[in-house]
Amino acid sequence: MSTIAVKSAQLRSGPALPYAEAGYPEGLPVVFVHGLADSWWTFEPLLRQLPAAVHGYAPTQRGHGDAERPADGYRPEDFANDLVEFLDAAGIPRAVLVGASSGGVAARMVAGSHPDRVAGLVLVGVPATLADKPGITALWEKVQALEDPVPRAFVEDLLGDLASRPLGRGLLATMAEENLKVPARVWQETMRGLLEADLAATLRGILVPTLVIWGDADGVLPRADQQLILDAIHDSTLIVYEGAGHLLYWEEPERVVQDVVGFAARVLPARPGGGGPSA
């Protein structure tokens, strides 16, 4: 089990972001990017299991968790800019980016715009588009009506709907608390930004190796949605987790770690004297 350290990164043009760090300092750098309303805690099950071959980072995005909450800056391009500045602040010249759910939008935008900083891209339960999905439309109607404090029942119902298998009560309780830290305006502005953006355009121009991981019991993203990603990114591969839902990184954390580490070992050379694929 890896030890997790929580630190803070001051971005040049934006807020300070807390981030979790785990694994071997000289290991392959892998940066995990969370989605709407989550925080670095969403990757705690993964960070705990990182082998010595990997140096994992998981920043909390602006407005989320314990990060600073600026008045604006919640469009996908804002989160993508923050991610590049996080790489700079944390001293990461080049990394594998692992985007979960809507966090994959910012991750793929960085992969397309800064290929020199991204050795590979992993998209875990990430949408190709959002506007064509009835479940997302229904969620948007609820999010638009949110007021502070955000109701606990809303958060708990949402988390319960996204998983296809029973999850640990401790994990669900922790993530519910993290979601409840997010003000209603951040829920609304972040989701509005995702719905108004041309998400299909964010899939163009990605030239780095890409691994797509999807659960076939995902009630939000159909298989056809994932095919759009595969069709748009030339060097992309799909791994299907049978029986897993949208939160497959909670449902099968050991397998996700194994797949991410194996992919990182293929696309990133080991650092001299550091942890390599066999460490």
Domain boundaries, the chain: 4-267
- SS3 of the chain: the string is CCCCEEEEEECCCCCEEEEEEEECCCCEEEEEECCCCCCHHHHHHHHCCCCCCEEEEEECCCCCCCCCCCCCCCCHHHHHHHHHHHHHHCCCCCEEEEEECCHHHHHHHHHHHCCCCEEEEEEECCCCCCCCCHHHHHHHHHHHCCCCCCCHHHHHHHHHHHCCCCCCHHHHHHHHHHHHCCCHHHHHHHHHHHHHCCHHHHHCCCCCCEEEEEECCCCCCCHHHHHHHHHHCCCEEEEEECCCCCCHHHHCHHHHHHHHHHHHHHHCCCCCCCCCCCC
CATH of 4-267, one of 3.30.360.10, 1.20.200.10, 3.40.50.1820, 2.60.120.510: 3.40.50.1820
Mean pLDDT per 10-residue run, the chain (279 residues)? 93 95 94 98 96 96 97 98 98 98 98 97 97 90 98 94 85 95 98 96 96 96 96 98 95 97 90 43
pTM: predicted TM-score of the whole model, two decimal places: 0.95
What's the pLDDT score for residue 270? 63
What's the pLDDT score for residue 271? 55
